[in-house]
Amino acid sequence: MHSFDFVPVKLRTLPLDVYLECKIYSGKPEESDGTDAGFSLLCENQTVTQRLLDRLKRAIFPDTRIYIDRQYVIGALFSKGHYLGFSEADVTAIRNHENPWEKKKRPAPIPVKPAPKPKDSPKPGKKIELEIVGAKIFQDKLRVEKFKKTIEEYNITKDIAENMINTAAETGKVDKKQGEEITRNIQKQVNSTETALVLRAINQIRSADEYLHTHCMNVAYLNGLIGKWLEFDEIRQNELVETGLFHDLGKTQIAPEIMQKVEPLEASEFDEMKKHPVLALEMLMKSGMRNKAVLEGVIQHHERVNGTGYPKGLAANDICEYARITAISDTYDAMVTRRVHAESHSPFRILHEFEQGSYSELDFRYVNVFISCMVEELKGKEIIMNDGREAIVLYVNPSRLLYPIVEIDGTIIKTDDEFYCARMKNILEDD
């Protein structure tokens, strides 16, 4: 028999792998606002109610555990437990001081002590050793060759995208065949190439004059990755990539002095800029595009779930899925563009800032998928610290994105605001 004060709980209908740790207490009458069905959730120093719990249920991943007070479990679960994914058998087990998930414990935390030296044949389950072996692969010549091939394919697609955007600027129409070719290339590359390499290609430094076609293409790539992570079928992934590719097409019809203005736009100029989703729709229609899902995604890509977007100020589920996903890719790529020229463009800082600034405007559920998959891609990768030393990313706590745990010369170190990641190591640096 196992006794415990807090019971780990899996929320029902949860997708993969984000880890949120919080505690649930029975709601005290004086704290209840009448909408929380008798309990409240204490999460990162914020007491939230059933409404947030419902949002969490839609957004959190299946391995996520929340912790619920055992007394509360016993007292209230039969009536409220279904909200949290408890079955009757679970409740009985908890009542008997058993932990129904005891056999599915979370992986043990990484000990903060010197890591064992990497061995040629790591024993199964030794995560740290596997990560180090992973880092060795990272340095392998084969990987360099793969990266060069990824960049080559990316650049070929970029040339076609540049051509497509230039033609669109001149004619007000899009060449459907070029659009299809780009979409096909991106989809193929996203599904057949290691995601980390695709992300590296997207994050290359770009000049101001290649911004529009590179941005459209990168958003298409990111949409493709999100479609893959969400396990979209081929047709939906294709539509999502197309939505990304065409989302800013309307900007080709905006006056260059507005497009290229470095200073903040005047209100009237911003009003002009805000016409670009409608202009894109018109151009696509003129070009014979009839896919309603893609057209809807394009015209709604600046709508925001809190209703602050444009052109219609739609909110939440009134915004189509492709537009909600494209808004994430669009925001992320714009952030990478701003950061890529900065002295430090740590991917952890970008993800942290993205997370901080995005929750009220972007779809919480997709943001979580995006961040957790991005974090997964960073594990085992080589980074350069602010003192110039190389390190390997071992672990990233999703609630502490800025400061990963890294390994340097066999020592595992928690990073912080004095010792932090400055940038990813360039794959070609050792070549």
Query: In whole angstroms, what separates CA 396 from the centre of its chain?
Result: 14
Q: Residue 7: beta bridge partners?
A: 68
Contact 116, 129 (CB under 8 A): yes
Q: Is residue 333 part of the contact set for Fe ion (CB under 5 A)? A: no
Shortest distance (Å) from residue 363 CB to Fe ion: 17
Pairing label, strands 421-424, 390-395: unpaired
Which among 76-84, 101-109, 241-249, 262-270 is the span making contact with Fe ion, rule CB under 5 A? 241-249
Secondary structure of residue 140 in the 3-state scheme: coil
Shortest distance (Å) from residue 326 CB to Fe ion: 9
Shortest distance (Å) from residue 350 CB to Fe ion: 19
Which is closer to Fe ion, CB of 239 or CB of 248? 248
Pairing label, strands 39-43, 23-26: antiparallel
Secondary structure of residue 207 in the 3-state scheme: coil
Q: What part of residues 273-292 is at the interface with Fe ion (CB under 5 A)? A: none
Which is closer to Fe ion, CB of 17 or CB of 269? 269
Which is closer to Fe ion, CB of 333 or CB of 407? 333
313: left (phi over 0), alpha (psi -120 to 50) or beta: left
Handedness of CA 60, 66, 71, 72 (dihedral sign): negative
Tell me the site size for Fe ion, rule CB under 5 A.
1
Q: Is residue 248 part of the contact set for Fe ion (CB under 5 A)? A: yes
| Calpha distance 111→66 (Å, rounded) | 22
Shortest distance (Å) from residue 169 CB to Fe ion: 16
Shortest distance (Å) from residue 211 CB to Fe ion: 12
Shortest distance (Å) from residue 385 CB to Fe ion: 35
Q: Which two tokens stand for residue 316?
A: 């939440």
**Count of other CB atoms within 10 angstroms of residue 166:** 13
Which is closer to Fe ion, CB of 248 or CB of 363? 248
| Calpha distance 124→99 (Å, rounded) | 26
| Calpha distance 296→244 (Å, rounded) | 12
Which is closer to Fe ion, CB of 302 or CB of 423? 302
Which is closer to Fe ion, CB of 131 or CB of 248? 248
Which among 3-11, 244-252, 341-349, 416-424 is the span making contact with Fe ion, rule CB under 5 A? 244-252
Which among 134-142, 172-180, 242-250, 363-371 is the span making contact with Fe ion, rule CB under 5 A? 242-250
Shortest distance (Å) from residue 276 CB to Fe ion: 6
Q: Which two tokens stand for residue 124?
A: 């199964």
Handedness of CA 9, 14, 17, 20 (dihedral sign): negative
What character string, x for contact with Fe ion (CB under 5 A) and - otherwise, covers 64-103?
----------------------------------------
Which is closer to Fe ion, CB of 196 or CB of 299? 299
Which is closer to Fe ion, CB of 248 or CB of 333? 248
Which residue has the CB atom at the shortest distance from Fe ion? 248
Secondary structure of residue 419 in the 3-state scheme: coil
Which is closer to Fe ion, CB of 82 or CB of 338? 338
Shortest distance (Å) from residue 215 CB to Fe ion: 9
Shortest distance (Å) from residue 251 CB to Fe ion: 7
Residue among 302, 308, 306, 348 nearest 328 (CA): 302
Which among 9-17, 195-203, 246-254, 395-403 is the span making contact with Fe ion, rule CB under 5 A? 246-254
Residue among 18, 4, 58 nearest 372 (CA): 18
Residue among 220, 202, 205, 206 nearest 161 (CA): 220
Residues of this chain that bind Fe ion (CB under 5 A):
248
